[in-house]
Amino acid sequence: MEIKPPPETVEQFNGFYRSDLKSLIWLLAKAGATRTEAEDVAQEAMLVLLGAWSSVHNRRAFVRTVALRGLYRTWDSRKRSTDAEQRIASRKDWLETFDANEDVDRTLELLESLPTAQREVFALRIDGFSEKEIAEITGKKETTVRSNLRHARDKMKSVLRRSTTGKEEDHGP
Amino acid sequence: MDRDIELDRLLDRASKAALESLDAKVDVHQQLRRLLERARVEPGQTGSDRLGLG
């Protein structure tokens, strides 16, 4: 792949890349990627962004759309390995990177408890994206995003409660 | 403690810790260099001839 952007684009891109790469990798970790998947997918998404730089308005959103789609394509090629066993393996894969931090491990564990759609929107929410932006990134309706967020939050609170009291809250379907 | 607040604080702490860890574990400079090499653009280059635009 050969891209020939003008120098000012390369300079702007360098700044964006340096400030956003780690946040993008963290998002992919939350979405269930292994470290290798996250780094590879993030790199590919950044490359796509560089090629489309001047035509993209919301670059943080764009690169996340590309990255998440890339991650799911990777999974599809392995028959969508998003089952619980795979996600637990992914979490273990991150332990060294995150120095076995309890809060990080707990967060990834909570996200593992969610269906893919809820995990995706909640991971983006944690990163500060608005419901409208999440809808744009994921290609969902805002009402769907709101519903996913509500169910995800209820589920995570329930798992959190169960882990501390041994009882799960009733949060509906 | 309210479960919402507990969850929000956990997520906030986790994000900060994760990004700090990634600061130490991911060599952004090297990754950027690799990406630009793949795109055939080298960091610091500004001349259009060096970008293959000449």
A1 in any annotated domain = no
Total tally of structural domains belonging to chain A: 1
Per the CB < 8 Å rule, is B52 touching A50? no
Cβ separation B35–A4 shorter than 8 A: no
Query: Looking at this predicted complex, what is its ipTM?
Result: 0.85
Question: Average per-residue pLDDT in chain B?
Answer: 79
**How many residues belong to chain A?**
173
A68 near A138, Cβ under 8 Å?
Answer: yes
Indicate yes or no: CB of A17 within 8 angstroms of CB of B11: no
Residue A148's domain is classified under what CATH number?
1.20.140.160
Q: Which residue reads 């360098």 in tokens?
A: A14
Domain assignment of residue A27, yes or no = yes
Contact criterion met (CB < 8 Å) for B39 and A25: no
Give residue B49's pLDDT band: very low, low, confident or very high (50, 70, 90).
Answer: very low
- Lowest mean per-residue pLDDT among A104-108, B2-6, B33-37, B43-47: B43-47
Q: Is residue A32 part of a domain?
A: yes
Closest C-alpha to A43, from A73, A61, A59, A20: A20
- Most A CBs within 10 Å, among B4, B12, B28, to test the A interface: B28
Asked if residue A97 belongs to a domain, the reply is yes
Whole domain around residue A57: which residue ranges? 7-165
Query: Shortest Cα distance from A38 to chain B (angstroms)?
Result: 12
Largest CA distance in chain A: 59
Q: Is residue A173 part of a domain?
A: no
Buried b (16+ CB within 10 A) or exposed e, A9-43: bbebbbebbeebbbbbbbbbbbbbbbbebbbbbbb
